[in-house]
Amino acid sequence: MRKSSVTLGLGFVLLCLALGAAAAEPYTVSGAIRAAAGALRSRLSLEDEAAQVLLVGIDGEGFPSPAALSLLSRAPFGGVLLFGFNVPQKARDLGLFTAAVQEAAAKNGSGLPFIVAMDDEGGAVFRFHGDDVTRLPSPLAVARRGPEFVRFLGEAAGRELRALGVNLALAPVVEALSPENSAFLGTRSYGRNPAVVDADALAFIEALQSQGVAAVAKHFPGNAGADPHKGLAYLSVDRKTYERLLLPRFASALGNDSGRSGRGAAVVMLSHVIVPSIDPSDPASLSPRFVEGELKKGLGFRGVALTDDLYMKALTDRVPPERSAVEALDAGDDLLMISIQGAALRIRDAIVRAVRSGELERSRLDDAARRVIELKLAFGMDKTLDAALRERRLAAFPALVASDQEKLRAWSR
C-alpha cells in the first residue's frame, strides 16, 4: 500500500480551530444507520464491495440499454451516473429510466439500491431538454438575487429530482471565481465575492438535502484555468492563499463556519488538479494529503469523498483508470466516478486484485463501502426499491413542476 505522511500546516490548524472544523460534524448519520450500514457491508463479498465504491456511467438514450440493465442486475455498483444523452426528451420519462435501474438493483442480490446521480448546477450544466421541468439559471445569474432565491431553486430541484428517481445532484460548485479558475468555471460559480458564494452555495445544499436529494460540494480544493477533461491542471497558489481563499469555501459548504452541524454537503467531489504547495506530485483526487489530510482530518468531513471522472485526460494521460482507481481508494476517496460502462468490471476487478495482493488494505475498502451505504440509508435511497413508492412519486411530478413554475413566476414579478 502506498504510504504518504499527512501533514497540516500551523496556519491551517489555526484556521480549522477558528472555524470550529475540528469539532464540527458537518454530515452525520445516526447510530442506527451506521449499524445498519455496517451490517449490510459485512454481507458483501470482496467483489461486491469493490463494485459498491463505483459510480458508473451507463449506456442508453432515454432508457437503459439491455447491456446496461444486464450489468446492473449482476453487480451491485454504488450507483449510476446520468449524462445528457441518457435523459429522455420528456422529463417525466426519466422516472421510467430510473425505475428500470432500481429494478435491476433488486435483482443483484445485495439488497442495496443504486445511487442515481446527474449534474444539476443550472445554466449550461443542466441535463434536461425541455420546459417540462423547472429550469435552473446559471449560478452566476442568480447570485445577485440572494440566498433565499437560491434556496427556492434548490428546493424545486430537489423535489423534482426526487420524484424522477434522481437522489444525488452533482451540484453546487462552491468555488469563488478567481483569475486562476474563471476561464474554466465561467458562469458555474456564484461569483467572485466569497461571502456571496458561501451563502448561496450553502443555501442550495441545504435546500436540495431538505428534499431528500444529496448534494455534492465541488471541486475540492479548487480548479485552475485548464479543463481537466483535456489535461492535467496546476493551481499555483501558496499555502497562505490556499488557506485564505480556497479552504474556507469548503468549510462553509460543509457547515463548519455556520454553527449548524449536520446541514452541510453529504458528498464532496475531488478535482484532478495539482497544487504544488500542498502536494507537488499527485492530483488532489489521488493525494492522501488532500483526501485524508485536508478534507477528512482537517475539515472533519464524515461523508462520501467522490472523485471526478477517472476517464478525464488529467488522469488517463498519467495512468490507466484501473490504476488510478486503486490509488484513489488508497488516498481516501470513497466513491469513484467511471464514465465508461464497459470499464466497470475491469476496474472492480483491479480493486479486488489490489486488496488480495495487499497493495490496498481491506479496511480502507470496508470504510469506503460503509460510507457509501450510509449515504444511501441516510437519504432513504433504499425506499426506491419499492415500485409502488416510485410510481406515486412519479405520478406527483407534473403537479410539482406546475407549482414550482408558478412560484418561479411569482419570484420574477
39 versus 261: the higher-pLDDT residue is 39
Alpha helices (H) in 332-396, listed in sequence order: 344-357, 362-378, 387-395
From the CB of residue 4, how many other CB atoms can be counted at a distance below 10 Å? Answer: 15
- pLDDT, position 342: 97
For residue 120, the cross-strand partners are 126
Out of 48, 257, 279, 308, which one is annotated catalytic?
A: 308
> Crossing angle for the helix pair 147-163 and 397-412, nearest 10 degrees?
170
Tell whether the model's pLDDT for residue 206 goes beyond 90: yes
Q: What is the pLDDT of residues 325-366, one digit of tens each?
A: 999 999 999 999 999 999 999 999 999 999 999 999 999 999
Handedness of CA 56, 61, 62, 65 (dihedral sign): negative
Average pLDDT, the chain: 91
- pLDDT, position 3: 45
Q: What is the pTM of this model?
A: 0.92
Percent of the chain beyond pLDDT 70? Answer: 92
Q: What is the pLDDT of residues 378-392, one digit of tens each?
A: 999 999 999 999 999
In 3D, which of 46, 60, 56 has the Cα closest to residue 310?
Answer: 56
Look at strands 304-307 and 267-270 and give their pairing: parallel
- pLDDT, position 120: 96
Q: Tell me which residue has cell 433565499.
A: 148
pLDDT average, residue stretch 166-194:
95
Q: What is the pLDDT of residues 139-154, one digit of tens each?
A: 999 998 999 999 999 9
- pLDDT, position 227: 87
308 catalytically annotated: yes
From the CB of residue 240, how many other CB atoms can be counted at a distance below 10 Å? Answer: 12
pLDDT average, residue stretch 127-146:
95
d(CA 95, CA 71): 20
Q: What is the pLDDT of residues 270-285, one digit of tens each?
A: 999 999 999 999 999 9
Question: Domain 44-412 belongs to what architecture?
Answer: Alpha-Beta Barrel (3.20)
d(CA 95, CA 16): 42
> Crossing angle for the helix pair 321-331 and 362-378, nearest 10 degrees?
80
Out of 131, 229, 238, 317, which one is annotated catalytic?
A: 229
CB 255 within 8 A of CB 262: yes
Q: What is the pLDDT of residues 286-305, one digit of tens each?
A: 999 999 999 999 999 999 99
Tell whether the model's pLDDT for residue 211 goes beyond 60: yes
Tell whether the model's pLDDT for residue 17 goes beyond 80: no
- pLDDT class for 412, splitting at 50, 70, 90? confident
- pLDDT class for 2, splitting at 50, 70, 90? low
